[in-house]
Amino acid sequence: MWRKGLMLAINGLQPNKYLNNAFLGARYFQLDNADAQFDYSKFSNYQLIVLHELPVISLRFGE
């Protein structure tokens, strides 16, 4: 069975409106937005992860 490609944008202050608009209504992709306090154990659920304007990058990204 076919599934949508899952993408995650981890945002600093606010979501990227251009990225959101690019995938608005997309049939083959789903974009989820999260803040920097995201549960890193869920990374494996996503095919693409975008880091958007994070003030610092947590060491947990390497886990």
Residue 39 has pLDDT above 90, yes or no: no
Average pLDDT over residues 30-58: 90
Query: 40 pLDDT band (50/70/90 cuts)?
Result: confident
Average pLDDT over residues 1-13: 89
- Domain boundaries of the chain, sorted by first residue: 5-62
CA proximity to 33, closest of 59, 58, 15: 15
CA proximity to 12, closest of 38, 48, 36, 40: 36
Query: 62 pLDDT band (50/70/90 cuts)?
Result: low
